[in-house]
Structures are given as C-alpha cells and as structure tokens.
C-alpha cells in the first residue's frame, strides 16, 4: 500500500547537512492533467498509394514495426516477415495503411505539430481528434534535421496545447506522454526527466526520460505537471526492440523555433560557417595553455567559406559565438545553425596560446560537401636533427606550390619518416606539422627553435594536417 512518505525527525546531535524535505509526499495524480491535455492530442494515420499488381506497403501494423526497427537500428526479429495485402488485379489503385503516429494541436485553426519521420513518404494523412472526428491533413513543412513537421487540417475551435518553458524543466521532475503506441489511441504513460541536453544529434539537445514510448508515440507531446508541453516524443534507445526505460524528446523551444519557420516559408534556414570541428581533450587543453577542456577544435576550414574569409585557421579553438559560450563542440553547430544567414557575428578563438576576436558573416547551410583529399607534397630536403631523432621524425619543408595546394600560406613541415614517440602518438608519413607547443612551424628553422625549448619531462603538443583536416596530438618522450 502506498501512502505519504514519512520524514523522520532529525536527532538533536545529528551532524552533517540538513535534511531536504521531499517536494512530493505521495505518488502524483495525473487525472486532471489528462483531462486538460488529452483533447489537444491527435492520432495521425499515414496512407500510401499502392498499385493494382499486388505490390505495395505491408499492413499498417507491419509497416509501423518495420519503421520502428529501421529507425533505431534494431535487427528484424527471427520469423518476422511482413505480408502485404492481397489485391485483385481488377481493383484500381487505392490508399493502404502505412503507419501510425501522434501529434498535438498548436492552434485552434488546425495547425498540428508532429515528427518529420511520421509524415515522411506518406501519400495521405488522416488526423483523428480525441472526439473521433477525422480530417484529411496536408503537410505545411517538414525538417528532417530536427525531426519536426507541421501539418494542417481544415477545422476551427480546436483545443490547442499550452507551451511550457524548457528552462524550468528539472531532472527528476514528473512528466507524462499521451499518444498512440501501436495504434492504441489516447494512451497515457508517465515517468521522470532522466537528463537534459542529451547529445544525440547535431542540432538538438534532447530531453531524456523514462516515460514508456513505443512505435506510434512518435510526434506526441511530453507534458509537465502544469499541463504544459515541454517536448515532442521522438526516439528511444533499445537493444531488444521494446521499450527499455530510455526515451528522448525534442525540447519544445527548439521545435517551436523550427515550426515558426516551417509555417512562414515551408522550410528551415540555418547558418553555416564552413568548419569541421572536434572535441578538445583534457590533455590537449592543458598542453596548449587552455586550462580546462572547452570549445570546438577546428580541424579543417572549407575553401571560400565564411570561416576561411574571416581568417579562421585549422587548430583554432572556438570558445564563444556571439558572446555565447561554446562549452562542447556540439554547441557550435546549434549556435551557428540558429543564426540567420547574412548575420555578422563575433567569435572568440584560442590560437597559439592567446585569445583573439574574429568577425564573421554567417552563410546558409547547404547539403554537406565531401572534401577532396589534398595532394601529397613532394619530398624535399629531409632533415632529422638530434631533437627530431628523439621524437622519431624526419621532416622536409613545403615548396611554394605545395603550400598553395594544401592552402597553407604560412607553410608547414612534412613528415617524411616517423618512428618512436611520434609514431606512438599517431603521426604518419605525409602529415604536415603546422605548430609545436603553440609555435608555428612553417620552416625547418622554426621547428628547431620550437624544439630547443622542449622540456623532456612534459608531453609535446603538435598541431598537424592530414588530408584536409587538422588536429592535435601529444608526443611523449620515452622514460
């Protein structure tokens, strides 16, 4: 039997921090929340046109299961063979069930938010309200990168959801989901917020919960105890094919930002600056004088990109974008992506042991461009001094033509042979070293100057170029 939680009175002589009284002294009651929010939740059925030759989609439930396994990378269970409906060749083409999802009403005039993967590839959409009325819907806009879509039905006087503040959402807080798992309309599940800002995508810091989410819940609302929508249920983590206590929701503030653009233009415009980035490790941060690991390490700069025009260099660490901290590399794509193309922004970068400000004009994000591999420069004047021999390196300078080919106007030195500590650090023949311990190494004499200052008791940080991308490594002397 569940009852109120009893909080024992502290002993008079008890030491340590004071006890914190629980904010909820019993199990939460969701009944009022369900009555408040349920009229705003809809069921979305997708239909697909099939030909009269008997080929087409599997049944609705089979297709929904296939979508579930495909979306989360789960192997198809043994013996699970979806079977499509048998059709008479004389029967004309008709719409057949394709899948089931959920959604919620954004405005009283029929705007509905759901997941992009719910409506993707559908020939027809049927929206069923909580009062069992059905409407054909059309897609206003869909964005695959964030998995957000907006659809419209011709209706009026609908019950719209209340949008909550994600910033007020706390880990451990009770939340509730309403949706259509496996086509079971108006199903209510509940749990707590397990984590916030969970990084599972470039543009979205997901809300992680333990609310039971299954195929058909996709696109439905995640609701807090004030009856406000704080997220869109979108993904789960599973190794078995069933719910395993980990589900993810798109934060509603991010979703609303996307939906506003979809409603205005049918598409989402995002900013881009043209850099390839990576995380900054603790060891690299300490070795270059950055202190704690933070920011986004620029591994490469696309030719002709906004970053290239602004003077961003491989090896730079971007610490701030428009005065907003870049704590992790995943923060940068979100900050840049949410910036209007054409906007002039400021960046703080860490380069060669010092911070500097860079002004940059943000471009518009386009489909990913596959970088072509830089040509391997010819060997010339290989050199291995005693210091280089300790590191296990034989180096040569780049010619003027090679600098131009590699887009390295400040030069660098090419690794001709590698062994010992440098090989253990991951350097390879053909790599081009651009800096050692924050000192530029455009020439062999610059390398000698940097090596003369080495402390053999400390690791040597090396910024090097491989192909089109730059990165750091630490070389440790043998003891």
Enumerate the active-site residues: 117, 147, 218
The CA distances from residue 176 to 70, 226, 228, 472, in Å, are 26, 11, 10, 45
CA-to-CA distance for 241 and 219, rounded, in angstroms?
19
Which residue, chain included where needed, has tokens 């062994």?
419
The CA distances from residue 18 to 10, 14, 26, 259, in Å, are 9, 9, 21, 46
- For residue 127, what are the β-bridge partners? 44, 135
Burial class (CB in 10 A: 0-12, 13-18, 19+), 132: exposed
Give CA 232 to chain center in angstroms: 15
As a whole number of Å, the end-to-end CA separation of the chain is 65
Query: Is the C-alpha dihedral spanning 97, 103, 107, 108 positive or negative?
Result: positive
Taking the CB of residue 142, how many other CB atoms lie within 10 A of it? 23
């Amino acid at each position: 039997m569940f009852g109120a939680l009893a909080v024992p009175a502290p002993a008079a002589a008890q030491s340590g921090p004071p006890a914190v009284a629980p904010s909820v002294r019993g199990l939460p009651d969701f009944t009022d929340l369900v009555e408040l929010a349920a009229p705003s939740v809809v069921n979305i059925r997708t239909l697909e046109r099939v030909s009269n030759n008997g080929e087409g989609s599997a049944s609705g439930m089979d297709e929904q299961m296939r979508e579930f396994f495909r979306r989360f990378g789960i192997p198809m269970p043994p013996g699970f063979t979806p079977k499509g409906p048998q059709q008479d060749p004389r029967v004309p083409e008709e719409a057949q069930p394709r899948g089931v999802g959920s959604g919620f009403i954004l405005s009283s005039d029929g705007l509905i938010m759901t997941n992009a993967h719910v409506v993707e590839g559908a020939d027809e959409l049927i929206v069923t309200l909580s009062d069992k009325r059905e409407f054909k819907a059309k897609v206003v806009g869909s964005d695959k990168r964030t998995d957000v879509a907006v659809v419209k039905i011709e209706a009026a006087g609908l019950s719209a959801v209340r949008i909550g503040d994600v910033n007020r959402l706390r880990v451990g807080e009770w939340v509730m989901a309403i949706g259509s798992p496996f086509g079971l309309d108006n199903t209510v599940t509940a749990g707590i917020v397990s984590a916030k800002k969970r990084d599972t995508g470039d543009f979205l810091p997901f809300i992680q919960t333990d609310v039971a989410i299954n195929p058909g819940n996709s696109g439905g609302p995640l609701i807090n105890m004030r009856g406000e929508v704080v997220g869109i249920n979108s993904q789960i983590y599973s190794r078995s094919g069933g719910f395993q206590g980990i589900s993810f929701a798109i934060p509603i503030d991010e979703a609303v930002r996307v939906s506003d653009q979809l409603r205005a233009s049918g598409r989402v415009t995002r900013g881009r600056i043209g850099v390839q980035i990576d995380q900054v490790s603790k060891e690299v941060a300490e070795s270059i004088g950055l202190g704690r690991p933070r920011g986004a390490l620029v591994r490469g700069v696309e030719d002709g990109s906004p970053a290239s025009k602004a003077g961003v260099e491989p090896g730079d660490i971007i610490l701030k974008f428009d005065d907003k901290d870049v704590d992790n590399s995943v923060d940068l794509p979100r900050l840049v992506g949410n910036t209007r193309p054409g906007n002039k922004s400021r960046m703080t970068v860490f380069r060669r042991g010092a911070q500097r400000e860079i002004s940059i004009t943000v471009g518009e994000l386009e489909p990913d461009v596959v970088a072509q591999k830089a040509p391997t420069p010819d060997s010339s004047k290989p050199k291995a001094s005693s210091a280089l021999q300790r590191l296990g390196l034989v180096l040569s300078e780049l010619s003027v033509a090679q600098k131009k080919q590699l887009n390295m106007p400040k030069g660098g030195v090419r690794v001709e042979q590698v062994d010992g500590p440098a090989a253990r650090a991951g350097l390879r023949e053909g790599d081009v070293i651009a800096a050692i311990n924050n000192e530029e190494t455009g020439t062999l004499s610059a390398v000698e100057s940097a090596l003369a200052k080495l402390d053999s008791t400390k690791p040597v940080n090396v910024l090097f170029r491989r192909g089109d991308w730059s990165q750091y490594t630490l070389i440790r002397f043998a003891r």
